[in-house]
Amino acid sequence: MTGSDVTRQGPEGERPGREAAPEILRGGPDGAGPGRGAGRRGRRRGGEGRHGGRGEQLMAPSAEFASYYGRPVIKAPAWRARDIAGYFFLGGLAGAGSVLAAGAHATGRTTTATAMKISSLAAVSLSTAALVNDLGRPGRFGNMLRVIKPTSPMSVGSWLLAAYGPAAGAAAACAVTGRLPRAGAAATGAAALLGPAVATYTAVLAADTAVPAWHGAHRELPYLFAASATAAASGMALVLGPVRETAPARCAAVLAAVADSAVHKAAEERLGMVAETYRTGRAGKLLRAARALTALGAAGGALSGGRARPLAAASGLALLAGSACTRFGIFAAGIASAEDPKYTVVPQRAAKEARRTTPAPHAERTQPT
């Protein structure tokens, strides 16, 4: 405003004060009009004002997520359970079996060592066949070996299979023929070194997807696969090995059963509402059967005490069945979580709300002291 805007009646263009408003608009002499006083009373009746604690009322109810037009938010994996869940199970049996075979070889349990080497070779062969069947053509597996990509679980897994398979084959061939014992021992050691990675990389492969039931349990899934693989290999040793050589397998079975139960519980706690997919439907039935069979097999193996051959064999079969149910149950839980959009949207919204309400660490550091 310049000096020329000031007149004898005051500044020109200045807005009139609140006293310039007609009295009726300011509430009227009796305070019952639609003016300011009525507005205050209206806010008190509607929402208790800023001192009432209720704030403004929403004109529309809060939107609650029910469905994304009835369609899944993410595309469920097109994998077939027979191929991929079977691939998970057989890979775990092969990898953990090589570790047990190396231990038996080192401790002079030659019958069990030979049996487990043959078992691992058969398992990794069937596992590769299941993977190739899922890929559609054998040439596609060869194409996966054209590059090495350390950040890709699929690429790393392909190279693990390519390195582990020949080692397991050489170890089994030397054990069966009795030739080249030093080469056989070296191959046995190489297979045992690669075995844990072969048994658990499939968990990383599944957790690296957007499937809620797998991705949400990415910290526990490798341990769950390791426990399941150990249970399967222990069961195979109880079935194939002489009872006098099964002491390590019986101990491993007990440890695997305890670890399987503990990790499964931890995974369900982390998953929150997504854990419903582990408890209900086909996945729930399979995982309950898995826990029961694994516990029964471990208890039976411990009670057999290296004497009762039928009990040891039955316990081994229960452990194998429990491990297979675990892999198929986890696979089914993943598919169920991908097909229902609420398992994708609700956890993401909850995580976003938690980030919004939790102050960032750098913001706390910048607060004045």
* Mean pLDDT of all residues in 19-42: 48
Which residues have a Cβ under 8 Å from the Cβ of 240 and sit 6 or more positions away? 112, 115, 116, 119, 316
- The percentage of the chain sitting over the pLDDT mark of 70, rounded to a whole number, equals 78
Dump pLDDT digits (tens) for 312-333: 899 999 999 999 999 999 999 9
Report in angstroms the alpha-carbon separations of 299 from 223, 227, 254, 259, 293. Answer: 21, 16, 7, 14, 10
Dump pLDDT digits (tens) for 39-95: 444 444 444 444 444 556 667 666 665 556 667 778 888 888 888 999 999 999 999
Q: What are 206's two structure tokens?
A: 């599944």
How far, in Å, CA of 206 to CA of 204, rounded? 5
pLDDT given at position 145: 84
Dump pLDDT digits (tens) for 234-285: 999 999 988 888 889 999 999 999 999 999 999 988 888 888 999 999 999 9
Whether residue 305 is predicted with pLDDT greater than 80 in this model: the reply is: no
How far, in Å, CA of 203 to CA of 156, rounded? 13
pLDDT given at position 50: 46
At 294, give phi and psi (nearest 5°).
-65, -45
How far, in Å, CA of 6 to CA of 46, rounded? 44
Query: What are the strands, taking DSSP E only, across the chain?
Result: 6-7, 10-11
Most confident of the following: 150-159, 200-209, 319-328: 319-328
